Amino acid sequence: MGRRRRGHDEDPERSQDRTADTGPVAGTYPIDTGTAELVPDPYRDGAWQLLVNGVLSSHWVPDDPAALDFEYMRWIAALLRDRYPEGNTPLRLLHLGGAGCSLARWANAVYPASRQVVVEIDAALAALVRDRFALPRAPMLRLRVGEAREVTASLTPGTRDVVIRDVFAGAVTPEPLTTIEFTREVDALLDSASSGRGGVYVANCGDRPDLALARGEAATIAAVFEHTVAIADPPMFKGRRWGNIILAGSHTPLEPSAALRRTLLTDAVPAQVWDDAQVRRFAAGSRPRVD
C-alpha cells in the first residue's frame, strides 16, 4: 500500500529534472516526514524495497522497469493496458503519490512516448528517489514536490489522459483527496477526447473490512463520472480483511473486457473486476464524501 504524509508544500512549482546514476545503496536516510530505508529484496536478486517510516512503499527492479511487485499496481496496469493500446500511445499521466515511482517506471516502459508528472509531498524523499533510482529524464518524467490537491488545482484543465491517486497517511487516504470537490478537480484535468477513449481517474482506496470508506469513495466517483469499475481480490470485496480496492471513473465506457477479466483472475493475487452496475450497487446507501 502506498503512503503519504500531508504537510508543508515544498515549492509546488518546482520540477526535479536531474537523474543521477549512482544506484540504490542499502541504508536508512532522513527525509522530511521521517526516514526512508532502501533494502535489497530478499526474494529477488537485484531488486530493491523502499520503506518509508517503516512501511513498505515501493519495489524497484533496476533491469526490469515493467515489473510490478505490488498486486494493486498490477491491477491498475491491467486496467490501463485494457483501455489504451501499448506501444506508441502517447499518454499524459499524473501520479498523485510518488514514493519510488514504480507505476511511473512501468508506464514509461509500456508507453514510452508518454509524458508523466509524479507529485510527492516529501522533498527529501523525491530527491532520494531521483538520485538513487534510474528514473526517465524530464520531460518524459517529472517529479514535482507539493501537496496533491494543491498541485491538482494548479494544473491546466483538459491536459491529462490518466490521473492515478495513490496517496496515504498511515493506512488511509487523506480525506481532502476523497471528496466530491476534489474528484471534480480531477475530472477537470482529464481530456474527454483522450486517445479516442476519454480520460480515466484511478484511485487506490485502502479500507477496513467494513468497507465504509470504499463505499463512500465509490459513491463519490460514481456521482462525478458516468462510468465506473472496481478491482479487488474476492476476500477484500467480501469484507474479510484490510486491503486495497481500485476504483476508476470515466465519462466514456469502462466495460471490462474478457481479456481484462482473464488477466486479473490469473494474477499472482487473483482479482475480480466489477462493472458500473455492480459498483453502483456497492455504493448504494452511501453518500458522496464532501469537504
* pTM of structure: 0.90
* Distance separating alpha carbons of residues 34 and 42, to the nearest angstrom: 24
Question: In sequence order, what are the residues at sequence separation of 6 or more whose Cβ sits closer than 8 angstroms to the Cβ of residue 221?
Answer: 183, 201, 203, 228, 247, 248, 249
- For residue 288, whether the previous peptide bond is cis, meaning omega lies within 30 degrees of 0, is no
Least trusted range by pLDDT, from 114-118, 188-192, 231-235, 262-266: 188-192
pLDDT score for 198: 82
pLDDT digits (tens, 9 = 90+) for 1-45: 443 333 333 333 344 444 445 688 999 999 999 999 999 999 999
Neighbours of 276 (CB within 10 A): 20
What mean pLDDT is reported for the chain? 89
pLDDT digits (tens, 9 = 90+) for 193-212: 765 678 999 999 999 999 99
Domains belonging to the chain, first-starting first, are 66-283 (3.40.50.150)
